[in-house]
Amino acid sequence: MSYPYGPPPSGPNPQQPYGPGSGPIPQPAPPYGQDPYGQSGYGAPQGYGQPSDAVPPHVGVPAEWGTRLGGYLLDGLIVSGAQIVAMLAGAIVGAILGVLVGLGDPGVGGVVGGLAFFIILIAGTFGFAFWNIVYRRGVYGQTLGQKIVKLKTVSEETGQVIGAGNAFLRQLCHVLDTLACYVGWFAPLWEPKKQTWADKIMATVVVSAETGSPLPLTKREQKEQQEAAAGGGYPGMPQPGYPQQW
């Protein structure tokens, strides 16, 4: 048989047609990452995810009950100190008003002086307590006592501050912790997230201030940072080129 273009090339392994006796058909390679032996009958092992009862890392590490107790005691001492200051201020103002009003009517002067004393005492004590426990906790994440022991109160989901309104509601929820023979206050001893009942209701958690998302800066801290940035150094340190003031 003649070929007009020459004989076809022949290789060492010429391709054979598929058919009976031609051998098994080669299977395509499995995709990358797939088990070449097929799917396991028991299913693929699942990854080790975050337990549902654990606090996410971006929120922080839950505080121990003893550290929280220390913060509460410090807040109590601080508010008591503010109460003493308010008492002294009320006594001074009440005495002055009593004398001034008593010049015209001694009986009325005593009543006015006593009334001024109680108004200043109550307003000063509760006003300071509200500022420290509600406003500071909600806006900056810390009371003064918590700041000393390096704790903060944040949302258990976002790790951010909860706002003054939610801080006030959380404080009201502490009534439930107290009514049940104070059991709710001891709940952090056995709760996975170390929460009181008020924390669980408001979805908050008290964590170490050195973990999780950073807290908002107070106005004083913002001012110090601005001064440090403007002067190119740290607040309170003499800057080069300026005479040091004594």
Q: What are the tens digits of pLDDT across the range 105-120?
A: 777 888 888 999 999 9
Kindly state whether residue 244 falls inside one of the protein's structural domains.
Answer: no
CB-based burial, 51-68: b 16+ in 10 Å, e otherwise = eeeebeeebbebbebeeb
Token pair belonging to 43: 């299913």
Q: What is the largest CA-CA distance in the chain?
A: 145
**Comparing 147-161, 184-198, 221-235, which segment has the lowest mean pLDDT?**
221-235
Indicate if the pLDDT at residue 46 is higher than 50.
no
Instruction: Tell me whether residue 198 is in a domain.
Output: yes
- Domain enclosing residue 160, as ranges: 65-208
Lowest mean pLDDT among 19-33, 55-69, 93-107: 19-33
In a domain, 164, yes or no: yes
Token code pair at residue 179: 């009514």
Q: Is residue 217 part of a domain?
A: no
How is 106-144 classified by DSSP, letter by letter?
A: HHHHHHHHHHHHHHHHHHHHHHHHIIIIIIIHHHHS--H
| Domain-located, residue 242 | no
The dihedral of CA 230, 234, 240, 246: what is its sign? positive
Asked whether the predicted pLDDT for residue 68 surpasses 70, the reply is yes
Asked whether residue 7 is assigned to any structural domain, the reply reads no
Most confident of 93-97, 172-176, 229-233: 172-176
10-19, 89-98, 138-147: which is most confident: 138-147
Averaged pLDDT of the chain: 81
pTM: 0.70
Residue 160: inside a domain, yes or no? yes
Structural domain contains residue 219: no
Give residue-wise pLDDT tens across range 170-213.
999 999 999 999 999 999 999 999 999 999 999 999 999 998 88
Secondary element (H or E) of residue 73: helix 65-102
Closest alpha carbon to 169 in 144, 204, 143: 204
Please give the backbone phi and psi of residue 238, each rounded to the nearest 5 degrees, phi first: -65, 140
Strand boundaries in the chain, DSSP class E = 151-155, 204-208
Q: What are the E-state strand segments in 101-237? A: 151-155, 204-208
- Looking at the structure of the chain, the number of domains it has is 1
Q: What is the identity of the amino acid at 239?
A: Q
- Rounded average pLDDT over 222-240: 69
Cα 14 to Cα 3, 17, 89, 137: the distances in Å are 19, 10, 109, 83
